[in-house]
Structure 1
């Protein structure tokens, strides 16, 4: 990859887990309107049999990892567990009353924070409370994020017995100096322990999260990390670009931009890691993801059922995502709704019997069309508009903005479709940005996103 392309396209841009992206949400639904959108999406999911996805945000962590941009609360007080779970179940009960019948749950993900901050006993209370008035799909995708330092065999066994078959461990980098600067010390032995325990118990998909572009990270540390990953043989790997956003994540101010690998140096970290992963049998899927050919994520990429939402990539689409917990985002396809971010505010709203959604966006007809094109590109590196309901004048404006990208040999545009070339895949965020009508109509005065390359 040439330095000139890296320099040209290394600009701030969204990761497109949604469209419109959160900074460009405009028409926020009130509580009654939100309930209408949820009920309609639930009805459609029942007709199609698609079921719903459930994301549960567990925000507590015992220590601050300075690289992290998630909504979290740092505490060593585990007495917070039970009251928070009680609130989650109250919020879920409000949705159950809104549905009026048992929902079919196709996908469940526990995110954080650190879900394994919670004891196995309390996680069991939470999941059994969720499932008590629900129906699980025949082959549900149930996953959780585990910290290698505090995930116990009891955590793994308890969640497995409840139906979880996928676990994601945050590794980031095995280099000790990198771990120290990002305040995420976790010895290889801890990662090996939880990985082997998960395999022994029977988890069918183990994911490792790795990050390139971290402070003090070098080519040697990336090579060393991948070599250790190859020994442990996870089924999936998320190989993310570090997002430096100190204006929203103050912990990142503990180091400076001078500590970060930049431009060509950072891209070399990715290219080297990618090559090593592919040599080890991991196939690139969508953006930032790799998996073995036996994993359902790879199979979904081959049969074009790959889907992307606020939880990242999944093996199949669902038309309704319900987010429970502080800061969680729900998605009805026609509207987004985000819960109050501060835990105390979230709990107060739920305890008053109110849906804790404090902002959102109702999608216009144009939004829905652009959203589908960006989703297609993020999942299949291809989109087309030769079907009814796939064209809007805003698309033509986006195609004009893609002229330079096509001249650089990254994509091919025909009369009715866009195809991303292999050389264009590292620039998929830039390609999607060209179609982002909201972004171009409202150019930000300050930086909102991390860099794309």
Structure 2
């Protein structure tokens, strides 16, 4: 075993959120949410933050030519590329509806294209999308544009077209290089394809190339993870997401039914896979950043962590913070800091609302005072592995109960609790989701009858 007892894994391996937000989506309060309340919260946030830090944009491009059975994202499987122009027109229409809310041109600090498969779209259409967005906005001094590329279909033309409109960072979904694992998750992509896509990005001028690797996949062994990490080391991407497969086959619309539960590694084996991967990555200079992320010291993600500026939102860990984030496209989630709003997940419903000149939001949450305080603590823990209530504004009435729930974790050496601070130990960092769950008052008040989240280990 590489650094963690099986007793701790058995004790703390429970279903829990990944905390890209608080409150988590299953605990959003629909009764206090409306489209008007979302608009008001976003206008407030925009007025407070646009001039001094700008805003972020997440654009969801949902189309894929085939279904990957490890994926829990919202997607539409098709080989008909005629869908591209219609979808881009809709996203630009949605952006124009948001523009009507603001009294100044948005200053874009961060923009990310996710999916689905963004490189399903032609280089020309991607260029048209971004050009259309930027036509009505300004750029922050130090902006960062990034996109998710599929190694099998990302061409030099894709990379160049996006580079020409400001993209300098790309992440490629690698998952695992073993052919048996790839067949199980329906994602066949040889190492040569990843190598080609990585080298092309650097040739074009991208300053940060990332790889996404998953452990805990069906049929995956320790040797498979070792092989994948060793091949990854040969390419030396600037940053890595090395994260646990989130098995949530009950969620509507995902494809996680291409294998049996017994085909998945045990919690113990998953942890061994992670500890080995972490060890091999450290040997060539990768530094762990937050939870499940690694970066070279030259990458902005590490630099942000070192400076205490690391941020986490629905895009995962980001090197910079903006208070307001707008989500465009089906299923995309916006964040005003004071509220969340998620778009329609069905393409037809999304198109229909836009035709009616209505923002295509179908659910959300407006944060109350308690939510805002808890959100800050969970964000601190996820980004800095510590939090404090020395500032009286961060004290809340249920804090003593939270500290009581953390007592056993303190006995197990996972956290240190002082008079007004909590710090997650090195030993406890793999269990940071469990620490955050002690702060999650909504989860504690309404324990689910069925499993909502993936396992924490």
Same fold at TM > 0.5? yes
Q: Residue 317 of structure 1: CA displacement? A: 1.0
> Alpha-carbon deviations, 1:331-378, whole Å to 9, x = none?
000100000110110111011100111110010100000000000000
Q: 2-side partners of 1:440 and 1:306: how far apart?
A: 27
The normalised TM-score by structure 2 is 0.98
Aligned match of 1:114? 117
Q: Residue 400 of structure 1: CA displacement? A: 1.1
1:452 equivalent to 2:456? Answer yes
Aligned match of 1:202? 205
Q: Choose which of 397, 404, 407 in structure 1 pairs with 2:408.
A: 404
- Whether the aligned pair in 2 keeps the contact of 1:57 and 1:328 (CA below 8 Å) is yes
- Whether the aligned pair in 1 keeps the contact of 2:74 and 2:254 (CA below 8 Å) is no
Q: Please identify, of 275-284 and 32-41, the stretch whose mean Cα deviation from structure 2 is larger.
A: 32-41
Aligned match of 1:85? 88
Figure out how many residues of one structure are paired with residues of the other and give that number. Answer: 452
- Whether the aligned pair in 2 keeps the contact of 1:385 and 1:416 (CA below 8 Å) is yes
Q: Residue 46 of structure 1: CA displacement? A: 2.9
User: After the TM superposition, which residues 16-415 of structure 1 pair with which residues of structure 2 at under 5 Å, given as runs?
Assistant: 16-27=19-30, 28-47=32-51, 49-248=52-251, 250-415=254-419
Q: Residue 396 of structure 1: CA displacement? A: 2.2
> Alpha-carbon deviations, 1:149-186, whole Å to 9, x = none?
01000000110111000000000000011000100000
Q: Which runs of 5+ in 2 are unaligned?
A: none
Q: 2-side partners of 1:90 and 1:177: how far apart?
A: 43
Q: Which runs of 5+ in 1 are unaligned?
A: none
Aligned match of 1:443? 447
Q: What SS does structure 2 have at the residue aligned with 1:287?
A: coil
Q: Choose which of 2, 25, 46 in structure 1 pairs with 2:5.
A: 2
Q: 2-side partners of 1:71 and 1:399: how far apart?
A: 37
- Whether the aligned pair in 2 keeps the contact of 1:169 and 1:208 (CA below 8 Å) is yes
Q: 1-side partners of 2:278 and 2:307: how far apart?
A: 23
Q: 2-side partners of 1:174 and 1:129: how far apart?
A: 37
- Whether the aligned pair in 2 keeps the contact of 1:9 and 1:427 (CA below 8 Å) is yes
Q: Residue 388 of structure 1: CA displacement? A: 2.9
1:433 equivalent to 2:443? Answer no
Q: What SS does structure 1 have at the residue aligned with 2:189?
A: coil
Q: 2-side partners of 1:70 and 1:11: how far apart?
A: 22
Runs of 4+ with >2 A deviation: none
- Whether the aligned pair in 2 keeps the contact of 1:366 and 1:394 (CA below 8 Å) is no
- Whether the aligned pair in 1 keeps the contact of 2:71 and 2:254 (CA below 8 Å) is no
Q: Residue 250 of structure 1: CA displacement? A: 4.9
Q: Please identify, of 388-397 and 176-185, the stretch whose mean Cα deviation from structure 2 is larger.
A: 388-397
The normalised TM-score by structure 1 is 0.99
Q: 2-side partners of 1:342 and 1:374: how far apart?
A: 31
Q: 2-side partners of 1:139 and 1:98: how far apart?
A: 25
- Whether the aligned pair in 2 keeps the contact of 1:397 and 1:435 (CA below 8 Å) is no
Q: Please identify, of 436-445 and 133-142, the stretch whose mean Cα deviation from structure 2 is larger.
A: 133-142
Q: 2-side partners of 1:402 and 1:331: how far apart?
A: 29
- The RMSD of aligned alpha carbons is 0.8
Q: 2-side partners of 1:394 and 1:71: how far apart?
A: 36
- Whether the aligned pair in 2 keeps the contact of 1:42 and 1:320 (CA below 8 Å) is yes
- Whether the aligned pair in 1 keeps the contact of 2:55 and 2:324 (CA below 8 Å) is yes
Q: 2-side partners of 1:281 and 1:364: how far apart?
A: 42
1:419 equivalent to 2:423? Answer yes
